[in-house]
A and B are shown apart, each in its own frame.
Chain A
Amino acid sequence: MDRPAAGVSYQRFPRVRIRELKDDYAKFELRDTDASLANALRRVMIAEVPTVAIDLVEIEVNSSVLNDEFIAHRLGLIPLTSAAAMAMRFSRDCDACDGDGSCEYCSVEFHLAARATDSDQTLEVTSNDLRSTDPKVCPVDQARAYQHALGGSEPFDTAAAADQRGILIVKLRRGQELRLRAIARKGIGKDHAKWSPAATVTFMYEPEIRINEELMETLTLDEKRSLVESSPTKVFNIDPNTQQVVVEDPEAYTYDDEVIKKADAMGKPGLIDINAKEDSFIFTVETTGAITAYELIMNAITVLRQKLDAVRLQDDDGDLGELGAHLVGG
């Protein structure tokens, strides 16, 4: 059999088109690669891109209705700005502090002190009450409020107003107090979901929908309408002028096969043909705000490359010694 010589590259050159890019949301097309790579990117974005989150809490005073562990857990779940996380050290392999998590390379300290005064009003303790010792790392809504204050001319929408209240940690009644010290550390979503920067990451195959126009012409308008309505999502529509069935939104198709079954039931098999393009993907990425969607994508690629680098053979057969030479010789 004719096989190419060794050392020939089978590398692909994926193409990307960004459809929408916001701070915490991205939608893009990825082409000329396969599902394994798309899925690896998705998995890395969810579970292996590092962020910073509160990991150790020392409670000084807690007379609230929630117990210490409950509050510690809630603090851990607050997203912190993590643009610096890629450059930080994991505290388990930080040699500056022997992993006790109290040096500037691997941790950030937070303080919180709140006491409900003697008024009858309940006091809401939120993420806005957390005081960071490092301006680069703070709760994301604090950072956003700060950004908002800087660009004061920006229109004040209701979503931003909701953000400014912060994330509720606990409510204090008259006389109750909460005082604590918290250490935030770098981590990944695989260890605990609180470190995951991803809210959702999904991809779908790009659908290719073809209508057999010749066969479609044999349908009455009522039949066309019932065909259009047989799809649970609005994929097709009827052109009001020509009364032809048109594909309105191919990406609304959920691969449910309903229109194909409908066409078969109408005695018109092959009326509509739908294929998944297996080298073409549509990604949607949403982040928690810890890092931007663009950072999440770029960091995922970096992390995946680091992983690949780690699984290289030591130096090309070197560790196999004589056996290696024997194997190459065949």
Chain B
Amino acid sequence: MNAGSFTIEREDHTIGNILRMQLHRDPNVLFAGYKLPHPLQYKINVRVHTATQSAPTQVYTQAINDLDKELENLKQAFENEKTRYNERPKLGY
């Protein structure tokens, strides 16, 4: 089994929790968790266990890429939705 732990400086629950949840979506991840060791220390620890054919660094990078693409997608969705919303009165709804 592969285990890894990452320290992310200058991040908190905002990144920690989305990263953890995204890692959980990956079946190669056997365990993923994060903790904020101390409220006055601006850092988090992320711990990942993976199956043998994978690696913590690999699933970590994959999770970040997936989240980034999801947000890129969300931004596009918002832009499209705003266009639709603004055109609605003209269509006579």
Contact = CB atoms under 8 A, between A and B. Distances in A.
Main secondary structure of the interface of B (DSSP, over half): helix
B28 A3 contact: yes
Contact of A308 (B27, B71, B85): B71
Contacts of A44: 14
Contacts of B52: 330
Contact of A311 (B11, B74, B84): B11
A6 B61 contact: no
B48 to A, nearest CB: 11
Interface string A20-55: 010000001000011011011001100010000000
Contact of A11 (B19, B27, B69): B69
Interface string A287-330: 00000001001100110110111011100110010001001101
Interface in B25-67: 25-28, 51-67
B53 A10 contact: no
Nearest to B8: A311
B5 interface: no
**Chain B interface: which size bin?**
35 or more
B74 A14 contact: yes
Nearest to B12: A43
Contacts of B57: 313, 316-317, 320, 324, 327-328
Nearest to A15: B77
Contacts of A36: 17-18, 20-22
Contacts of A14: 70, 73-74, 77
B93 interface: no
A88 to B, nearest CB: 20
Interface of A: 1, 3-18, 21, 28, 33-34, 36-37, 39-40, 43-44, 48, 294, 297-298, 301-302, 304-305, 307-309, 311-313, 316-317, 320, 324, 327-328, 330
A-B pairs with lowest CB-CB distance, top 6: A36-B21, A10-B25, A11-B66, A327-B55, A18-B85, A36-B17
Interface of B: 2, 4, 8, 11, 13-15, 17-22, 25-28, 51-75, 77-79, 81-82, 84-85
